[in-house]
């Protein structure tokens, strides 16, 4: 057994397959006889010295994590600032690492986490503490630089495309006397990847979704409403997919246009779909419905993509191998070798090329009129949602998700006063 401990932490919004990455990390570490601790609730657990003995998980629990959504060890949204601004926190992390002989730190998250892992590695070098920091990619937003795609995205994309295909059949059946316009709100504050994935639901000119709204394009209400009306006139009904992050030309988030006060003066929580539905109703008079899947889209492990699951596990395994090989301040990334047939492999990229970057949709993926995806986008997206990876279901008809027993590691340091 190599000397030292590997610390694994989950960061930011969870995905349908981040636990599959955790499962792969634990399996790879077991194969190499490396002890693994997990930070409870992400970096917060590391700061608080709130650590879980992940090596104590049973083989069945480790295997079960691969088909369990959510973040089994807990995640958090704490973003560390620069080394100068948050120096005490970074130093505390090193103190905890030292106390538990952590020699390898795997941080499973997005841009911010890549940045944190990079800074921790820099401070460790400054202090002469032997630490290898490896970022492990994860985000349904698919907005990480360098990697061709992000584990977590493919499954959320599959959920989106399937859901839109299904509700479109519903709307089509009822449009004559009921809802004519349906608005589906997809996650994606800055990048329209998930909304784009909805485009896979249909192929023909009049297939749903008829209109996709991307944060990469300014939202023009009059043009949008005219298009909705034209689709209703031509097709009889219209399905709209809107990214939560769409903005008008002056930079205002459309979601913020709603969300005022109701008639009792209570906060009225809005959102893009609700707002657009209201505008369609007011301006066009069509009966409208909308859906806000919210967390359902990032936790729908029952509809995970096999490609996504494979990649989530591959980056977990690769991260352990990188770390044990001493490849510091890097992240395993997905490289695409071909579209049809789809081929990919894992490469290793420096965190410095990934930290704090954000990859939006390339211009060539958005149709010229701004309301749909191109053939190039289809070629990119399609393999990412391919393959089904259903979880095991119990006799009760529900997925057998696991809740591993978490054994806390005794603290060795005074409590953190962060």
How far is 198 from 167, CA to CA, in rounded Å? 12
Q: Token pair of 407, please? A: 């054994």
Span 10-29, contacts to a copy of itself by CB under 8 A: 10, 13-14
**Residue pair 258/270 in contact by the 8 Å Cβ criterion:** yes
One residue of 248, 252, 268, 356 binding a copy of itself per CB under 8 A: 268
DSSP letters spanning 395-418: TTSSB-------PBPPP-SPPP--
One residue of 2, 31, 59, 77 binding a copy of itself per CB under 8 A: 77
Q: Token pair of 358, please? A: 């954000």
Nearer to a copy of itself, 310 or 347 (CB): 310
Part in contact with a copy of itself (CB under 8 A); list of ranges 116-124, 265-273, 312-320, 331-339: 265-273
Contacts of 131 (CB under 8 A, 6+ apart): 94, 97, 102, 103, 104, 105, 120, 121, 124, 328
Part in contact with a copy of itself (CB under 8 A); list of ranges 70-78, 82-90, 95-103, 330-338: 70-78
CA dihedral 271, 277, 278, 282 (to 10 degrees): 160
Q: Lay out the sheet containing 181-186: strands in order across.
A: 181-186, 238-243, 211-213
Site size for a copy of itself (CB under 8 A)? 87
Span 94-123, contacts to a copy of itself by CB under 8 A: none
Beta-sheet pairing, 181-186 with 5-10: unpaired
Nearer to a copy of itself, 121 or 274 (CB): 274
Catalytically annotated residues: 141
**Residue pair 196/361 in contact by the 8 Å Cβ criterion:** yes
**CB 328 to a copy of itself: min, Å:** 28
How far is 5 from 52, CA to CA, in rounded Å? 12
Span 300-339, contacts to a copy of itself by CB under 8 A: 300-303, 305, 307
Known binder of ligand: residue 94? no
One residue of 285, 393, 405, 408 binding a copy of itself per CB under 8 A: 393
One residue of 397, 410, 415, 417 binding a copy of itself per CB under 8 A: 397
- Residue 2 has a CB neighbour count (10 Å cut-off) of 13
**Residue pair 316/136 in contact by the 8 Å Cβ criterion:** yes
Part in contact with a copy of itself (CB under 8 A); list of ranges 115-123, 145-153, 162-170, 222-230: 162-170
One residue of 57, 146, 181, 201 binding a copy of itself per CB under 8 A: 201
Part in contact with a copy of itself (CB under 8 A); list of ranges 51-59, 109-117, 225-233, 256-264: 256-264
Known binder of ligand: residue 139? yes
One residue of 123, 145, 225, 291 binding a copy of itself per CB under 8 A: 291
């Amino acid at each position: 057994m190599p000397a030292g401990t590997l610390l694994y932490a989950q960061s930011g919004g969870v995905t349908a397959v981040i636990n599959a990455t955790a499962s792969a990390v634990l399996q790879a570490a077991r194969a190499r006889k490396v002890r693994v601790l997990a930070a409870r609730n992400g970096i917060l657990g590391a700061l608080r010295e709130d650590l879980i003995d992940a090596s104590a998980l049973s083989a069945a629990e480790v295997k079960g994590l691969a088909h369990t959504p959510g973040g089994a060890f807990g995640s958090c949204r704490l973003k560390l600032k620069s080394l100068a601004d948050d120096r005490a926190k970074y130093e505390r992390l090193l103190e905890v690492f030292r106390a538990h002989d952590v020699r390898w730190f795997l941080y499973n998250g997005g841009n911010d986490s890549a940045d944190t892992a990079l800074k921790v590695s820099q401070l460790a070098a400054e202090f002469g503490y032997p630490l290898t920091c490896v970022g492990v990619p994860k985000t349904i937003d698919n907005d990480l630089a360098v990697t061709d795609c992000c584990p977590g995205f493919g499954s959320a994309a599959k959920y989106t495309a399937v859901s839109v295909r299904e509700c479109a059949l519903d709307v089509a059946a009822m449009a004559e006397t009921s809802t004519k316009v349906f608005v589906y709100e997809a996650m994606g504050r800055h990048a329209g990847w998930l909304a784009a994935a909805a485009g896979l639901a249909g192929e023909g000119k009049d297939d749903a979704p008829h209109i996709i709204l991307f944060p990469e394009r300014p939202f023009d209400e009059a043009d949008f409403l005219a298009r909705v009306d034209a689709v209703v006139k031509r097709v009889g009904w219209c399905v709209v997919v809107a990214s939560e992050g769409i903005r008008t030309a002056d930079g205002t988030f459309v979601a913020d246009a709603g969300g005022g006060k109701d008639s009792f003066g209570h906060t009225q929580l809005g959102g893009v779909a609700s707002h657009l539905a209201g505008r369609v109703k007011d301006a066009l008079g069509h009966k409208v419905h909308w859906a806000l899947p919210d967390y359902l889209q990032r936790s729908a492990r029952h509809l995970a993509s096999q490609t996504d699951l494979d990649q989530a596990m591959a980056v977990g395994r690769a991260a352990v191998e990188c770390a044990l090989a001493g490849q510091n301040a890097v992240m395993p990334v997905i490289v695409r070798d071909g579209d049809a047939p789809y081929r990919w492999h894992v490469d290793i990229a420096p965190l410095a090329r990934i930290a704090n970057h954000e990859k939006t949709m390339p211009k060539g993926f958005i149709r010229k009129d701004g309301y749909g995806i191109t053939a190039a986008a289809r070629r990119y997206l399609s393999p990412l949602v391919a393959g089904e990876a259903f979880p095991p279901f119990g006799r009760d008809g529900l997925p057998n998700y696991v809740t591993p027993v978490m054994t806390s590691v005794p603290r060795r340091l005074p409590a953190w006063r962060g």
